[in-house]
């Protein structure tokens, strides 16, 4: 089975040349800057190990970065990528390939669960190391040193934006997957007798979920030929006017399909907030608990449940 396409790859394919140009405009990188970066190339390239060490040495100081520094297989790759990063940074080519490299590094950080805040600190430490080299090239003219350093810093900020974007995209992807998983889990419709369904709702009801709930309920009514549905909202902590409205609509839509819906498990807090909000649930049959709902449903369907023998 192939790995699911991550958000990163997805975003990378969307990175058009015009986007890259725009991002370079954002950091205001001009021809002057490129010329200055070419001048200080040696300060970066001749001391590569020193600069890389500044970055990873900083990370090593923090327990929170153990996800990266504590894993030999990742740290090796990260160091290699960082070296390539520094070489590319002063090479003057900030095109598609450059961006792809930044994305890969961001993806790696994300895999190592590296926090953005720690990453920023380490990146700053890296820039300090480079800055010190650049400033020492212009001992008499600190303004020139500053300008050269600033030119390189523009590229650095360009990089940071991409790496942080990559880390965010990866995290958003994870959150989306989890949300999807929760959503799929959260609305089961269960048949417990012929023509009788129960629908236990647990967790937060938002508009999106309420819509999905209505949909799955109505399709279940059709599929199971249900005549009564017991909707239990014991697990719903809050019901606002929007959600209440959705519940009413669901009940009415089910009625159009010939099914009656009984709502159970309205907690004291929910009941009071509904009354305070002035929402009239009069058109809906509500009962205290799931047991009451089932008994009422059985009565409607004509079931008589009796105990076979006294339990000792």
Partner 1 sequence: MPVPILKQGEVLIASIQAALTDHDLLQLKDELADKIGRFRSRGVIIDVTALDVMDSFATRTLRGIAATARLRGAQAVVVGIQPDVAIAIVQLGLTLQGVATALDLEEGFEMLRRSMVKEGPQ
Q: Coil, strand, or helix at residue 286? A: strand
Rounded Cα–Cα distance for residues 110 and 95 (Å)? 23
Tell me how many residues contact partner 1 (CB under 8 A). 18
> Which residues, numbered 248-287, are part of the site for partner 1 (CB under 8 A)?
249, 252-259
> Contacting partner 1 (CB under 8 A), which of 221, 244, 290, 294?
221
Q: Closest separation between CB of residue 195 and partner 1, Å?
A: 9
Is residue 69 a contact partner of residue 56, using CB atoms and an 8 Å limit?
yes
Rounded Cα–Cα distance for residues 43 and 136 (Å)? 9
> Which residues, numbered 230-249, are part of the site for partner 1 (CB under 8 A)?
249
Is residue 51 a contact partner of residue 44, using CB atoms and an 8 Å limit?
yes
> Contacting partner 1 (CB under 8 A), which of 215, 269, 280, 289?
215
Rounded Cα–Cα distance for residues 95 and 166 (Å)? 16
Rounded Cα–Cα distance for residues 253 and 245 (Å)? 12
Candidate segments 34-42, 88-96, 218-226, 304-312, binder of partner 1 by CB under 8 A = 218-226
Closer to partner 1 by Cβ: residue 218 or 230: 218
Note whether 214 binds partner 1 by CB under 8 A: yes
Is residue 66 a contact partner of residue 129, using CB atoms and an 8 Å limit?
no
Closer to partner 1 by Cβ: residue 86 or 210: 210
Question: What letter does residue 234 receive in the DSSP assignment?
Answer: E
Q: Closest separation between CB of residue 31 and partner 1, Å?
A: 59
> Contacting partner 1 (CB under 8 A), which of 89, 99, 134, 218?
218
Residue with tokens 């030929």: 225
> Contacting partner 1 (CB under 8 A), which of 88, 227, 234, 301?
227
Q: Closest separation between CB of residue 302 and partner 1, Å?
A: 11
Rounded Cα–Cα distance for residues 25 and 279 (Å)? 54
Binding footprint of partner 1 on the chain (CB under 8 A): 214-215, 218-219, 221-222, 225-227, 249, 252-259
């Amino acid at each position: 089975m192939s790995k699911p396409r991550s958000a990163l790859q997805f975003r990378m394919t969307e990175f058009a040349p015009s986007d890259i140009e725009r991002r370079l405009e954002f950091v205001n990188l001009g021809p002057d800057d490129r010329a200055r970066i070419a001048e200080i190339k040696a300060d970066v390239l001749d001391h590569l190990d020193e600069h890389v060490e500044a970055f990873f040495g900083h990370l090593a100081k923090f327990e929170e970065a153990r996800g990266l520094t504590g894993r030999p297989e990742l740290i090796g790759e990260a160091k290699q990528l960082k070296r390539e990063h520094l070489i590319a940074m002063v090479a003057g080519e900030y095109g598609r390939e450059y961006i792809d490299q930044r994305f890969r590094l961001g993806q790696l950080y994300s895999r190592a669960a590296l926090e953005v805040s720690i990453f920023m600190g380490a990146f700053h430490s890296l820039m300090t190391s480079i800055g010190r080299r650049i400033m020492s090239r212009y001992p008499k003219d600190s303004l020139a040193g500053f300008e050269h350093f600033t030119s390189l810093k523009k590229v650095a900020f360009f990089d940071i934006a991409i790496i942080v974007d990559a880390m965010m995209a990866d995290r958003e992807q994870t959150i989306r997957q989890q949300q999807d998983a929760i959503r799929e889990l959260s609305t089961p419709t269960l048949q417990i007798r012929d023509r009788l369904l129960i629908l236990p709702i647990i967790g937060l009801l938002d508009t999106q979920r309420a819509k999905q709930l209505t949909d799955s309920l109505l399709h279940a009514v059709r599929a199971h030929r249900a005549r009564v549905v017991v909707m239990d909202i014991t697990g719903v902590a809050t019901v606002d006017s929007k959600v209440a409205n959705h519940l009413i609509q669901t009940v009415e839509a089910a009625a159009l399909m010939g099914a009656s819906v009984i709502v159970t498990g309205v907690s004291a807090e929910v009941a009071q907030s509904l009354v305070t909000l002035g929402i009239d649930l009069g058109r809906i049959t509500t009962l205290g608990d799931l047991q009451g709902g089932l008994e009422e449903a059985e009565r409607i369907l004509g079931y008589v449940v009796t105990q076979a023998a006294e339990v000792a």
